[in-house]
Amino acid sequence: MGQNLRGVVVYGSLLVPLELREWLDGVENRASRVKVSGFERVFDAEAEQRETSGTRRAVLNLHEREESWFNGLLIPRLDPKEYEAYVTRETGYEFGEVDADRITPYVDEAATVDVDSDPIVAVNAPASNGIRPVPSYLKNCLKGASYWGSNFYDDFLDSTRLTSGRSLRSYVESTRKGRSRPGSKTKRPS
């Protein structure tokens, strides 16, 4: 697989423009919002470079699964330096090709999406059952997803799951309710 001018699809913390800019110039002009079929996005990869606590040690991972899909950003034609920075950043993952016919642009970007070859995506990091998202990582992913619009954010919540099978939307909503539940007892400092 030639590394020169190869595209990638990103789907987790790299949805945050600031993180993309660390290795990619002019990201806003190059990234296109897309849906990719044939993969399932799951919080089941063990975080290696993030602070974790108890079972809250999961980051996002992709697994091939015919009936599933996820949304992300397609970034076409990375130069060799950008490609190497991406591969280095995603240490611990395998890299799989995404058939161009599995990529569907969001309607408002359909005319501008450039899928000139089969891009790669980070997949199949070692998975663990029974772990939950690292809170700071989840917050960062949600921030990134919301940056790309409300439809993209909703799709992110709906196309992502935890190892328990629970949707990310359900998890996020229950976490928010737990923090702001009326009548919950909170210990006040004396």
Domain ranges for the chain:
8-167
Q: What's the Cα-to-Cα distance from 188 to each of 180, 185, rounded to whole Å?
A: 15, 9
Closest CA to 110 of 39, 32, 30: 32
Distance CA 53, CA 105 (A): 37
Fold of 8-167: Hypothetical upf0131 protein ytfp (3.10.490)
**pTM of the predicted model, to two decimals?**
0.85
Residue 72 near residue 36 (C-beta atoms within 8 A): yes
Type of residue numbered 95: F
pLDDT in tens, 81-136: 888 888 898 989 999 999 988 999 997 765 556 666 789 999 999 999 989 999 99
Instruction: Answer positive or negative: Cα dihedral of 14, 73, 168, 55.
Output: negative
Type of residue numbered 60: L
